[in-house]
Chains A and B, each alone.
Chain A
Amino acid sequence: MKQPTLIDKAFLLKRTPLFGMLDFDLLLVVSDKLGTMEVESGETIFANNDPATRMYFIVKGAVEISDGHQKPLALLRSPEFFGDEALLSDKSRGYTAVSKTSSLLLSLSKTNLFTIISECPQVAIGLLQTYSSYNKFRPRKEIAE
């Protein structure tokens, strides 16, 4: 599979809700920190309860997300991202990610993600927008009877 160039990586980021607000110069900075991963069909990218150090962006292919009991939750394609939740919650992985086709992924380390957020608050806003777009109502603790 052809490895993405710095520009390809930057353009992929531009298409994600997370980094869509960033200018070209900042996109290059972030792209430089992205690792590239090729995964075969059926290969596990990470499993439920694994320690979390990186988040992933799909360049090519499809990734299936399933819960701890192998129940499929979603099928993700480019330019979607995954693996971010555990980085932010500082917990181990809460789901399993398996490549459904041979896929090309970009990955960003937790340290770098946090540095980028501290420098570019737009990225944090992008994350919040992504989360809130999936939640009509944020679950809260039940009211005590």
Chain B
Amino acid sequence: MADLIRKLFNIYPGEEKNALHFVVLGLLWSFAVSLGWKNADALFLLYVGADHLPSAYAIIAGFMIAIASVMLYAFHHFYVHRILLSWLACGVVFYSLAFFCLYFHYGTESKWLWYALRVFGWIFFSVVNTSFWTFIDQFYHLRDSKRLFALFSSAIFVGIACTGIMMQGGWLEFYQVVAIIITLLLMTSFWTLRIVKKIAPINNDEESIVASPVPDQSWRHALAAILSSKFTIYLMVFSILSYISLFLTEYNYMFSFQEIFGGGFVAPASPDEDAPLVLFLGKCIAGASIFNIIFGLFFYSRAARRVGVNNLLLVTPLLLVFIYLGWPFSSTLLFFPVLAFFVCESTYYVLDENNFNLLLNGIPVKVKYITRVCIESFFEPIGTLTCAILLTMFPDDARLLALTIGIGMLTICFIVRMLYPKAVYLNLMDNAVHFEKSPKAWLEKLPKKERKSAESRLLAILKLGNMKAHDFALEGLIDFEDPMVIDKLLAIVDHLGPKTKELFIEKISASPFAKEIRIVDQLLTWDQEDIDPNLRATLHLYLAKHGLLSPQKAFLHLKNPDPKLKAAAIITFRLSTTAAASPFTPAEMQALAAEQLQELLISDDVESIRMGLYALSLEATQDDINRILPFLNHPSILVARQAAKAIAEIATHHSVRHTKTLLNYVTRQSDTEFRLALITAIGKMADTSLVGDIVESALHFRPSERRAVEKILQQMGLKIVPTLLSIGKDVSLHDRSRLLAGRVLGRLALPQLRANLHAVITHEIDRAYFYFYHYHTLQTSYPDYDLHVLKDTLLARYHSILDFIIQMLGTAFEVEDSELLSRSLRSTNPKVRSQVLETLERTCEPALFRLIQPLVDELPLHEKLKKEPLEKLSLPELLNKLSSSPALVDQVAAAAISSTLQLSGWRANLKQQMVGKEEIFHHFAYELLET
């Protein structure tokens, strides 16, 4: 029975208690608030009349704008549950006053009491609704929201339906209804406090800052964030049009109801008497609420998952267009007004409110709450006000206006629908750390004023700071790549110490300004002055590199013990093609340079060798690579790095024969700088016959190195596509190598990748199930054995295959940072995980997503284990299979467990297994065999 109920309401085991808490909360507040609101609506028509609706809308709008400002401030400064409780307290106070007026018939003759009840009822529903959803949003992520929010909104409809039934029954006098409202509001407050105490919200790394009462950003930043998201802008436009349309539709059906019921209608003498309109409205409310409950409970979440939120968004605009196109042809019938009522009371709530709660996940996290408050609190009054103005200006064209707005909504709806998948992914990207972004890109992103302030701040750091600060400021200011900034920088550096000047020369030398006349002028001026010898050495090295050091000066440095000065001289002599103003012929200069260069290279001093390699890399020939190669083995990493950089400088496609050698060096050295330089060299050599080796060697690379390999493979072009495809499909290769091939394919030949994807993914899913199933069932089948090592291996392999599947799908469906998807899927934060799934669901083919859904969706374990793998193996069979797996980790685990359990013949099997295996496996196998 419990299982059936869970299935019916889409609740996973363990979720029931929390879900029930929120259902009760939704039911309590909606019953209380809608009792006040809906009764006030009916009583307003009776005692004031539909003619006064535009003025009521205008008053509501005025109040709502003021209240929205308060809400925005409150969400920025207070916890959400406190805001909800404060509103409930306001409700208690207001309805207590109303009770007093009604009970003592104080002010019941004037229209203002009904105005107050109508205005407050509307506003109160809006603010409590916003607070409720914001409160609830802290406890659920997107995937859960899809399943459960419909249930919670159904609870709200149950509350509204109770209101409808009470109104239709007409059992109580209005002051008694008000007393019930007060009691219900007090119960809601108590229940909210209970939830706060009992249920912990989901910790969201980003939202914990945004949702906390500590301001993290200025309004300007928030506005900039909103404006930078197209999706947010269109969603806001859609919302404002929805509100205008909602009020116009309400006006239209109210007016029709009054016209239709008006003939035999006489307003009762007192509010305690029943009226046909009240009874009819009560029936409509109850009917709409029952529909909402049934649809919300049983259909919405299923529809959202099958059809997609972005498609459900079309329903209301299409209905509106249909209503207003058909209404003129049957203006005396109740059909279209009732349908309009249905749109206002049903589809707006059961579809659009739920859609909105889910679509909010496409809004940048930092402005999610602000946008919600803006939409629910500001846009509603703006919509009301616009509606009031439009109705005042065109009182006879209310239906035409509504039709126009409906068409507008439909158009925006298509745009929102198109932007949603990308928006969810961008949101995910926003959580990522953007290592690929250059400082220039960062600085360009800053607004003009902030850029200016960044510049001033860096200049101030340069004036006051120590060497660390100088290093930081110089790098930052040069990265601005702004000639004006460079001028200011030069003026300041001129007055700073020699160390900073040295640092400046080193940094500017690697910048686009290296050869700028203003820089050269400044450096030549320093050269005229009596400066620190180290600074002069750095300065002359710079001048030599750019051909600005005279051979006469260079000659003086040729035998200088300072390797920098010697290198400057060598460079000058090597670069000199004419003997003008020189005591030597070009040939003599070349010979002298070669002699001194050799002296540097054979030196024992690290700095001398480095300078020698640096000098060699400028104006070198392909043959010089042979001279540099041995230095890649140098015990000093500084020399090895310089050698790698020198090769990267010299390499061209003519040095292709060195590719294999360089690949060997790359895998042997773990230094990132060294590896990146050699990867650049390999890229320049562009040996397409070694694509497989390059991909395989990248197996243990760091992210930045892998990105570099991807880049060089991409530059090799379409001719490597067949090789990449075969790597991608080869299950005997490591997943990471296959993935790298897939990523490059995604950029080079997307159609080919997609054409082969289904087969690859299906096979991987079977493998994932195999590991997953055995991980969870093995220990139960063998309770006497300690299998934790094997279990860890199975789990690690399952995750690795899942990573492969997710990233491959991301690559094939143009998710820019596919690695981010798998990284985020392992996040401890459920909200981040749910965004990954939403991105995958929205981007990849539905058939493929359905295949992986049971693996990635956060289903209870027994649900996941329902799908059994193709192979269910016993322990010996499993170990046998693992020992022949291409993954080293499987082989090692199988050998280790076989040895621990002393399975018969394990030694013979292991010896057999060692044939043709990697060296690392041999070491491990010997260790096992010796024990």
Contact = CB atoms under 8 A, between A and B. Distances in A.
Do A and B belong to a common assembly?
yes
Interface of A: 3, 5-8, 10-11, 14-15, 20, 23-30, 32-33, 35-39, 51, 53-54, 107, 109-112, 115-116, 118-119, 121
Interface in B817-861: 823, 827-829, 832
A116 B433 contact: yes
A11 B434 contact: no
Q: Which of B439, B454, B458, B469 has the largest number of chain A CB atoms within 10 A?
A: B439
A32 B225 CA distance: 14
B78 to A, nearest CB: 14
Nearest to A27: B472
Contacts of A26: 435
A33 B216 contact: no
Interface in B115-154: none
Interface in B686-709: 702-704
Given A26-B435, A53-B208, A54-B205, A39 B472 contact: no
A127 to B, nearest CB: 17
B762 interface: no
**7 residue pairs, one from A and one from B, having the closest CB atoms:** A109-B205, A24-B475, A35-B209, A7-B454, A28-B442, A25-B439, A115-B433
A112 B209 CA distance: 14
B431 A111 contact: yes
Contacts of A111: 205, 431, 827-829, 832
A90 B274 CA distance: 64
State the main secondary structure of chain A at its contact with B. Answer: helix
B170 interface: no
Interface of B: 203, 205-206, 208-209, 212, 214-218, 431-435, 437-439, 442, 446, 450, 453-454, 457-458, 461, 468-469, 472, 475-476, 479, 672, 702-704, 823, 827-829, 832
B475 A107 contact: no
A46 B879 CA distance: 48
A24 B703 contact: no
A5 B453 contact: yes
Nearest to B457: A7
Given A111-B205, A111-B827, A25 B479 contact: yes
A109 B365 CA distance: 14
A7 B828 CA distance: 30
Contacts of B823: 115
Given A20-B468, A53-B208, 20 more contacts: A3-B217, A3-B218, A5-B453, A7-B454, A7-B457, A10-B472, A11-B469, A14-B469, A24-B472, A24-B476, A25-B437, A28-B442, A29-B437, A30-B433, A38-B215, A111-B431, A111-B827, A111-B828, A119-B703, A119-B704
6 contacts: A7-B476, A15-B468, A29-B435, A51-B203, A107-B209, A118-B702
A107 B205 CA distance: 10
B214 A37 contact: yes
Contacts of B454: 5-7
Contacts of A15: 468
A103 B458 CA distance: 23
A7 B469 CA distance: 12
Nearest to B461: A11
Contact of A7 (B431, B458, B702): B458
A112 B703 CA distance: 15
Nearest to A45: B214
Given A11-B472, A110-B828, A119 B435 contact: yes
A38 B274 CA distance: 57
Nearest to A28: B442
A42 B135 CA distance: 27
B479 A38 contact: no
A111 B446 CA distance: 25
Contact of B206 (A28, A29, A32, A109): A109
A36 B472 contact: no
Contacts of A5: 450, 453-454, 457
A119 B702 contact: yes
Contacts of B469: 11, 14
A100 B652 CA distance: 61
Contacts of B829: 53, 111
Contacts of B203: 51, 53
